Amino acid sequence: MDYNFIKSRLHLYAVLQNIEDLVQYDDEAKKLIKDWNVVIKFSVRKSGDVYLIFENGKCIVSETSPGKANIVLYFTSPAHLNKMFDGKANPIPLKGITKLSFLTREFPKLTKRLEYYLKPDDQKLKDNRFVTINTVMTLHTALFALKELLLFDPIGKHIAKKIKGSVLMMNVDKGPAAYLEQKGNSFEVHKGYHNNPLAVLQFKSMKIANDFLNGKMDAFSAIASGAVATKGHIEWLDAVSPVLDRIALYLT
């Protein structure tokens, strides 16, 4: 699999899913989509489709078609999608031309809000609310990206063979959680807690999680001091560590 393909999968399935969290946690985004009743399909040739379903003040990001899409944004190639994420290309609207003003005025306000949270800086990180939302998104992005890399990245595919039967959970103590579960020949990622995870990476606080996930904390120091706890089948956590490190190869 080539670089652009994998990068596009990460954009589609690891980055866009953050809109679910954005409209849940950010008041501005929540207000923005309050009355939206629309399904936007991102369709990327030779990569995949994803549906953003806005309904009743919530958003669900799904790989499965909800039946119809009001708007279809088409990308001729994985590279085309990646260029859009870099701000250097636009999608081709195949359906929903009549909703052009929504696409050019309303939807970009949401994506700008998403960008705001996905690009932390020192000033923003002084705000606890920002830290929480950024941490939730980073944690979810990591696990959804991990799934894609285990399926398509050359090293990821190799590592995937070593974590058969795994249920890996990442969580902040008394805070947000998500887990990756191996199912058949693939993996599923779910937001929330698993009742019986087989391997756990747990952060003592939101701040520690944020520093750790954004590479601002020495992992060994964090684990040795107990700020970050690993337990269960830690050999699986160890195995996926180089795969998690590869996210940056695609999403920087």
Residues in touch with another protein (CB under 8 A): 154-155, 158-159, 162, 196-200, 218, 220-221, 223-226, 229-235, 238-239, 242-243
Supply the minimum distance, in Å, between the C-beta of residue 114 and another protein.
32
Supply the minimum distance, in Å, between the C-beta of residue 221 and another protein.
5
DSSP secondary structure string, 40-78? Answer: EEEEETTTEEEEEEEETTEEEEESS--S--SEEEEESSH
Nearest alpha-carbon partner for 157 in 165, 166, 147: 147
Q: Which is nearer to another protein, 90 or 241 (CB)?
A: 241
Supply the minimum distance, in Å, between the C-beta of residue 193 and another protein.
14
Which alpha helices (DSSP H) does the chain contain, by range?
Answer: 3-10, 18-25, 27-33, 78-85, 100-101, 107-118, 128-152, 154-160, 206-213, 219-225, 234-245, 247-251
Supply the minimum distance, in Å, between the C-beta of residue 135 and another protein.
22
Distances (CA, A) of 200 to 56, 158, 171, 173, 232: 34, 22, 8, 11, 6
Supply the minimum distance, in Å, between the C-beta of residue 160 and another protein.
10
Q: Which is nearer to another protein, 186 or 221 (CB)?
A: 221
Q: Which is nearer to another protein, 35 or 245 (CB)?
A: 245
Q: Which is nearer to another protein, 100 or 224 (CB)?
A: 224
Q: Which is nearer to another protein, 52 or 228 (CB)?
A: 228
Q: How far apart are CA 100 and CA 208, in angstroms?
A: 42
